[in-house]
Amino acid sequence: MFTGIISDVGEITALEKRGDLHARINTSYETSNIDIGASIACDGVCLTVVNLGADWFDVDISAETVSKSNIWRKGQNSHGSRWRVGKRINLERALRVGDELGGHIVSGHVDGVADILSVEEEGESTRVIFSAPLELMKFIAPKGSVTLNGTSLTVNDVDQGGFGINFIPHTKSVTTWGEMSVGDAVNLEIDIMARYVARLQNFES
Look up the CATH number of the domain holding residue 194.
2.40.30.20
* Count of domains observed in the chain: 2
pLDDT digits (tens, 9 = 90+) for 15-52: 998 888 999 999 999 999 999 999 999 999 999 999 99
52 and 122, same structural domain? no
| Residue 99: inside a domain | no
| Residue 21: inside a domain | yes
200 and 121, same structural domain? yes
Rounded to 5 degrees, what angle do the CA atoms 53, 172, 118 make? 120
pLDDT digits (tens, 9 = 90+) for 87-100: 999 999 998 766 66
Name the pTM for this structure: 0.91
| Residue 25: inside a domain | yes
Nearest to 106 by CA among 197, 187, 198, 200: 187
| Residue 163: inside a domain | yes
Measure the CA–CA gap between 127 and 26, rounded to whole angstroms: 30
pLDDT along the chain (205 residues), means of 10: 95 92 97 97 98 97 93 60 93 81 84 96 96 93 95 95 96 96 95 71 60
In which domain, by residue range, is 47 found? 8-93
Domain closes at, from 27, 61, 93? 93
| Residue 48: inside a domain | yes
| Residue 106: inside a domain | no
